Structure 1
């Protein structure tokens, strides 16, 4: 979730002040005030131009079709044979030398929480080939990286529950 801009905060405060004034001047019931405050939370981004900002992140969306604010195409790289001690920051710094990095996800075992030795890096599509050529089969923290464009994850059939 992105932090609100100063303009968004100011507009939310203005709506709150209006609700406060309406409470004491007009003496309306508390349901009306709660409604005004609730509505102001949705109206503030409309006035600041941030209405399209999603507050929930989705991990199931295809990163190949995502676009940043500058309409830059983002694509995903698979990075294999990562050292288990590598973290998102070190991987981001490594790939940032070759282009604009949008996100880094290092996969962990869901039961133990330990890293699995691979991950995904989202980069600007224009920088993808440069990063692949520069980093594939190179050593990083004493491991030889395998870097290639990520394949689209196939849809898994729904698991049926058996009683």
Structure 2
């Protein structure tokens, strides 16, 4: 059973009862109770999934728009900063706002657990290279949402693998 259908069943049944009441008592149509309930289920069975799909489409469009706003069109040298000890409730917009106080923020990526989808408490902030050292100096050991941030320049994954081998 699809998630859309699973989400719409309670609404469909509730609206079917409302339609039954409307067809039986409000409108003086010569329908039996069974026909009134069937008409309610048919009308609501078509109407509710369409409304649920429209709602889900609107939510995904808003999520796409907010994801686009986390990336800034920036021309020039950039640096990536590692940000550790982030509060789990912090989102990309809050981190971007914090770092924007001290320079140009290009992109914010907060890491999530693949299985649970919850934030892992660290992320990466891509900033203008000219602002990177100033941000590290100002935001390392900075108190943010009751947590002390750890900010440093991010290392490439290959560098980390080579260092561990040597």
TM-score where L is the length of structure 1? 0.52
Check the 8 A contact 2:73/2:106 in 1, yes or no. Answer: no
Quote how far apart the aligned CAs of 1:71 are.
3.9
The aligned residue for residue 79 of structure 1 is: 83
From the superposition, tell whether residues 108 and 133 of structure 1 become closer, same or farther in structure 2 (CA, over 3 Å): same
Which structure 2 segments of 5+ residues have no match? 1-71, 162-166
1:90 to 94, 97, 115: 94
Instruction: State the alpha-carbon separation in 2 of the partners of residues 77 and 141 from structure 1.
Output: 19
From the superposition, tell whether residues 113 and 130 of structure 1 become closer, same or farther in structure 2 (CA, over 3 Å): same
The aligned residue for residue 51 of structure 2 is: none
Instruction: State the alpha-carbon separation in 2 of the partners of residues 122 and 131 from structure 1.
Output: 11
SS at match of 1:122: strand
Aligned length: 90
Q: Does 1:126 align with 2:120?
A: no
Q: If each structure's helix is expressed as a fraction of its own residues, which one has the higher value?
A: 2
Ranges of 4+ aligned residues in structure 1 off by more than 6 Å: none
Q: Does 1:139 align with 2:140?
A: no
Q: Does 1:113 align with 2:117?
A: yes
TM-score where L is the length of structure 2? 0.51
